[in-house]
Amino acid sequence: MIYTDYLVIGSGIAGLTYAIKIASRFPTRNVTIITKMSEEESNTKYAQGGVAVVLNRTTDSFEKHISDTLIAGDGLCDASIVKLVVKEGPELLQELINWGASFDTGENGEFDLGREGGHSEYRVLHHKDSTGYEIEKTLLQQIDVLPNITLLTHHFAIDLITAHQVYSTAKNIQKCFGVYVFDQKTNTVKTIKAGNTLLASGGIGQVYGHTTNPAIATGDGIAMAYRAKANIQDMEFIQFHPTAMYSKNKGASFLISEAVRGFGAFLRNVKGERFMLQYDTRGELASRDIVSQCIDKELKKTATTYVFLDCTHLEVSAFKKHFPMIYEKCIECGIDIKNDWIPVIPASHYVCGGIVVDENGKTSLDNLYACGECSRTGLHGANRLASNSLLEALVFADRVYKHHTTLLPETMENIDIPDWVEIEIPTLLDIRIIEVYRKNLQKLMRQYAGIVRSNKELEIAVYSLAEIYKKVEKLYKQNSIHVELCELRNMINVAHMIITQSIARKENRGGYYNKDLVTEKITR
């Protein structure tokens, strides 16, 4: 049994920022961070674009950023949360800079702000095209110097500990007591009892297979919260990034940052036509949901598998300066942006819904908090405005921290938590069957719950998912803990929420588009 005052599940910008702040404020209290891979592996690491924040008050304003966010969210944002995040952002960004994060500046020494789809002004702060990596590196450096933080790598969170595990008789207690964790190095399950638990476990991209997310993005935090009966909302709003590089190879799709379109690149169909202006007056700078839906239409009209991103008219030296990682990836793939178009296709990128939290990051369970992509704060509504996610993570990590400074972590000294009970005689697990079920799930979600959905397709998805669920649950109950099997189980839970909440939605908004619902036009 491990006891900690504060438990953080996840090692991205949200979890690390919170951990640094709470550990610094309370040096005699213990903070434990668990992550299922190495400490630097997170969605944050792969964020190319940057942090959307109002810095140039001469041309930009809080009101403009708020308006852009509300428009992108298609009427479903919580306006009070939008205002809160936008206005608190600059101070927290400065705090990150004070910790050592470096961002690009121009010849005049001022920040070189970028512009992305849905933004009316240049306000995206970036570090080349590897902003997330720069932030992750900075935060880990801060973590290393705080002696009251323990970071447990290769520890997989299996399930949250709630009243169901703690009490032998049914009690109407909605509380989190910690988590059961699988230590992948020792192949043992540990019980971690925590005064407060923060889920900062990232996204769900692997549910679709074709994704810009890393392999770790299997929706673990959202699935655990779902099984613990926490409120989950808006899972139907999946944001597909319009421009992932097309490849026949397996694994995460390489992201071509939205900032490239902000830099002036054009989208063209297989006929070479620049098609976006046919759908939206903003052209390539329309919000992501609209651009993805338009690409989907073009692919179906032309019976092709990808469209092109044309950068040939851009100044190559300037492109290389702003997007060195993207340029090198193109060269590696035999694409010379001076002469060649980049084949691109929409890929699952971000879930706008998740675990419902209040303005302090508190979930519907006592002692359980969430922030980052796994949470549903109300900021994004039906569609996230580009580069608002890192901003949201900074703001809500800070708000959870400030809320916890007003509370003593619950000691739980009198709470008796049972150890995890392993299967006595496990079935010999064939790892290949997990991969088969995983691919079937991903194919199902792409076909029936992707960019464009229909009532019939969602009905098929319900039936097909039920069949996969039965088989995987049987495997889970007959075997000892296996990370890939647990991830698949989590992905199935997430898929269930996406499908059922899609069926419940009766109007098209943002990242949700059902062709059977009456909609006058794609644009708004």
Residue among 115, 123, 261, 288 flagged as catalytic: 288
Residue of 247, 237, 245, 249 lying closest to 204 (CA atoms): 237
Distance CA 415, CA 436 (A): 41
Decide if 34 contacts 155 (C-beta within 8 A): yes
Helical segments of 351-387, H only: none
Handedness of CA 127, 132, 133, 136 (dihedral sign): positive
Whether 115 is a known active-site residue: answer: no
Residue of 239, 231, 165, 242 lying closest to 199 (CA atoms): 231
CA 190, distance to chain mean position in Å, is 27
Distance CA 378, CA 357 (A): 9
DSSP string, 457-516: HHHHHHHHHHHHHHHHHHHHHHS---HHHHHHHHHHHHHHHHHHHHHH--S-BTTB-BTT
At which residue do the structure tokens 């702000």 appear? 113
Decide if 52 contacts 391 (C-beta within 8 A): yes
Half-sphere exposure of 434 (CA within 13 A, CB side): 17
Identify residue 253 by its one-letter amino acid code. S
Distance CA 87, CA 85 (A): 6
Residue of 257, 347, 349, 253 lying closest to 311 (CA atoms): 257
Q: Which residues contact 442 (CB under 8 A, 6 or more apart)?
A: 206, 207, 208, 209, 210
Q: What are phi and psi of 387, to 5 degrees?
A: 65, 15
Helices (H) and strands (E) in the chain, counts: 14, 16
At which residue do the structure tokens 């992509």 appear? 373
Catalytic residue positions, numbered: 288
